[in-house]
Amino acid sequence: MVIVVMGPAGAGKSTVGHVLADRLGWRFEDADDRHTPANVARMAAGIPLTEADRAGWLDALHGLVARAIDRRESTVLACSALKAHHRSRIAKGLHPVRFVYLKTPPGVLRERLRSRRGHFASEPLLDGQLATLEEPGDEALTVDGAADVNTIVGRIRLELGV
């Protein structure tokens, strides 16, 4: 199984993903590590990515998920997956892939981003991400991203049976 922990910058995807993977004994991957240097530079400058910028990245993530499933390597992937078609492209034809949406109030996101150090996704990108975000419906488990990490991970494990 692959669990994709999704949401905008500051939602806690990497933190939750690391803890979840560690508790399950699964591999953890961060989609941020798959961005091209050009895309990282754009985001570090506060310039939102276009769909064209994201295309190769989404294809790489689909390949990562496909390999994990083929190898039966249970994996947690932290990824923004802001639009429905991003989620579809990542998981297209692959099973089992489950999405977990960390629904986090904008004020909490902003505060987290203000205190974040050493990451290219900063507060100036947030408005664009929130405008781009298409909240998932039934295709994802929605959890309160403002809750503490242990509560979030416990809910994910309970709801997904892992």
Q: What is the pLDDT of residues 82-106, one digit of tens each?
A: 999 999 999 999 999 999 999 999 9
- Model pLDDT for residues 111-120, shown as the tens digit of each residue: 998 876 655 5
- For the chain, give every domain's residue range: 2-160
For range 71-85, the mean pLDDT: 97
Q: Which residue has the higher pLDDT, 124 or 142?
A: 142
| Domain 2-160 grouped into CATH 3.40.190.10 | no
> What sign does the dihedral 89-12-39-22 (CA atoms) show?
negative
CB atoms within 10 A of CB 51: 11
Query: Does residue 72 surpass a pLDDT of 70?
Result: yes
- Alpha helix locations (H) across 104-148? 106-115, 123-132
From residue 94, how far is each of 4, 24, 98, 126, 131 by CA, in Å?
A: 13, 21, 10, 30, 28
Q: What is the DSSP letter of 83?
A: S
Q: What is the mean pLDDT of the chain?
A: 93
Residue length, the chain? Answer: 162
> pLDDT value at position 116?
66
> pLDDT value at position 127?
86
Q: Which helix (H) or strand (E) holds 95?
A: none
